[in-house]
Amino acid sequence: MKDTLLSLLRRAAGALLDLLYPERAACLCCDRALGEDEQDGLCPACVRALERLELRQLQREEQGETEPLPPGIAYVHAAYPYTGQARSLILKLKFERQRPAAVPLARAMAALPAGEEELLVPVPTTRRRLRERGFNQAQVLCSLLAGTWGMPMEEALMREDDRTAQSTLGGQSRRANLTGCMRALTSVSGRRVLLVDDVYTTGSTVAEAARALMEAGAASVGVIVAARTEFDP
Ligand SMILES: [Zn+2]
């Protein structure tokens, strides 16, 4: 009884504090409290840092591929290198379930040159991860892109549960761990597919997705990601 009264009082005090000091929106990258004129979720310093990263990645893309791409992948376009504020945004989206972090990422992805693709397909996540996280970050980025570009998207792939988390493995084991874990749910026969993911590291995830898409008849597979690691891990 006493406990109940105490918790009631605490809740009332909390509600009063909320009224007096409404929570200020924080920067999606650095958590700094935003001023009233900063409405897009990012502080000016992080906006500038993201612009610099975008430019850095653009220069890198213009220099062309230095690493061999996985079989079946025509090209990989990335909006950012996977570092600094771009990495923070992706971590917020993935591990802190902050969906608004997808908006600036998708905006930068939408600025990348679009190829001849006809269909956007998000890289699937496992059902288990979907339950834990509540959403698939690749699907969130994909629908924002589809909306911006006015392009059709389809969740054409599914991914099996019960594999070791990719982030705990090195390159070779990543590929072995993934082979055969995805399959197409619909026919993508003759279609040029653009695969959407958050991060490109070794390429093993998109390689498996491309394998499943080609098996389902895809004419070609390109890849677009929010960020790409700068060096082979
Ligand atoms: Zn910031």
Ligand 1 centroid from CA 33, angstroms: 8
pLDDT tens digits for range 98-131: 999 999 999 999 999 877 899 999 999 999 989 9
Ligand 1 centroid from CA 109, angstroms: 20
Rg (CA), the chain: 20
| DSSP letters spanning 61-126 | HHT---SPPPTT---EEEEEESSHHHHHHHHHHHHS--GGGHHHHHHHHHTSPP-S--EEEEPP-B
pLDDT at 13 over 70: no
Q: Is 203 left (phi over 0), alpha (psi -120 to 50) or beta?
A: left
Ligand 1 centroid from CA 105, angstroms: 14
| Interval 15-32 mean pLDDT | 72
Q: Where are the domains of the chain?
A: 29-228
Ligand 1 centroid from CA 32, angstroms: 6
Ligand 1 centroid from CA 30, angstroms: 4
pLDDT band at 217 (very low <50, low <70, confident <90, very high): very high
pLDDT of residue 66: 79
Ligand 1 centroid from CA 8, angstroms: 36
Q: Provide the whole-model pTM.
A: 0.83
Ligand 1 centroid from CA 26, angstroms: 8
pLDDT band at 44 (very low <50, low <70, confident <90, very high): very high
pLDDT at 58 over 90: yes
pLDDT at 138 over 50: yes
Q: What is the CATH number of domain 29-228?
A: 3.40.50
pLDDT at 196 over 90: yes
Ligand 1 centroid from CA 20, angstroms: 25
pLDDT band at 1 (very low <50, low <70, confident <90, very high): very low
Look over the chain and give the mean of its residue pLDDT values, rounded to a whole number.
87
| Strands, E assignment, 93-218 | 119-122, 157-159, 182-184, 192-200
Q: How many CA atoms lie within 13 A of 108 on its CB side?
A: 27
**Which residues, in sequence order, are bridge partners of residue 227?**
80, 199
